[in-house]
Amino acid sequence: MSAASFTTADAPETVVDYYAQAFASQGLMFAPKSNRFNTTIRADADCGELSISVMKKDDGSSVELNCRVKFQPHVPKSTGNHDQDVTNAMEAHRQAVATLGIGRERPPVPAPPLEWPAWLTRAEGGLPAIYKGSDPPADGMLKAEYTSGQPMSQLFAFYKDLLSSNGYQINRGYVRTGQTISGIQQNADGIVEGNIYPDGFPGPYIEIRVNLSRSRLNDPIRVTIGFRTYAYAGRKALVR
């Protein structure tokens, strides 16, 4: 995986239009997807899988580019000698395993810094009150809680888009209904959970979990945000 990022004074629409022209010149399909935070452009090129994220900033745009390079294994030609062909095939396999890093020894890596991201805000805007929490499986945890008058479905969509637009993989997400004594159905609880591997997988990672809940009909929604960091324990070599 190779990556790069930059900022520009151009508006997001201008940046997206530039990549539309660049994709067209290379014969690549251009199908951007937008949410309230950013526009994501993906393409399958000869060199690999491209991903471009364009996010609006106060003074222009922030652009992140990622390319997952395709691996093209070498397939040795037959020599006409069975034993030699087997030897060549095994050597090609060994080289492919080495190139991909399969079974390679990986040293332990400490958890990412326990720093609340500035973009992880209340749905209404502004940072919530943040304090240190405790979660034994994690190496560190920060927590925040607040109440919101927005509908639960709207809060769910807000945080799902927010995590996705900042590079987090959504692992879990739902909104469930509950029933009062009078039989009225209403959204009662929900969750959005995502994680990111800053240095690539496998490695240390960050998990953000947003819980949404209410205890009584038409109560404001209680939003609980957990920010957890995890170290990487390392791995012994499997292939020598």
- Nearest partner of 52 among 77, 16, 79, 80, judged by Cα: 16
d(CA 30, CA 222): 40
What is the per-residue pLDDT for 23? 84
> In angstroms, rounded to a whole number, what is the distance separating the alpha carbons of residues 103 and 2?
21
Residue 7's pLDDT is 86
Contact 143, 226 (CB under 8 A): yes
162 phi and psi angles, rounded to 5 deg: -65, -45
Report CA 59 to chain centroid distance, whole Å. 25
pLDDT for position 97: 61
Pick the CATH number of 2-69 from 3.30.310.80, 3.20.20.70, 3.40.50.150, 3.40.50.300: 3.30.310.80
Distance CA 197, CA 1 (A): 12
Walk along the chain (240 residues) in steps of 10 and give the mean pLDDT of each run.
Answer: 78 89 83 85 77 87 79 73 84 68 75 94 95 89 96 94 89 80 69 90 90 86 96 71
Nearest to 213 by CA among 148, 143, 130: 148
Looking at CATH, the fold of the domain delimited by 130-230 is given as: Alpha-D-Glucose-1,6-Bisphosphate; Chain A, domain 4 (3.30.530)
Residues 217 and 187: beta-carbon distance below 8 Å: no
Return the pLDDT at 124.
95
Identify the pLDDT of residue 102. Answer: 54
Which pLDDT score, from 0 to 100, does residue 169 have? 87
Q: What is d(CA 15, CA 48) in angstroms, rounded to the nearest whole number?
A: 21
pTM, rounded to two decimals: 0.66
CB atoms within 10 A of CB 166: 18
Q: Report the alpha-carbon distance of residue 52 to residue 128 in Å, rounded.
A: 30
Longest dimension (CA), the chain: 81
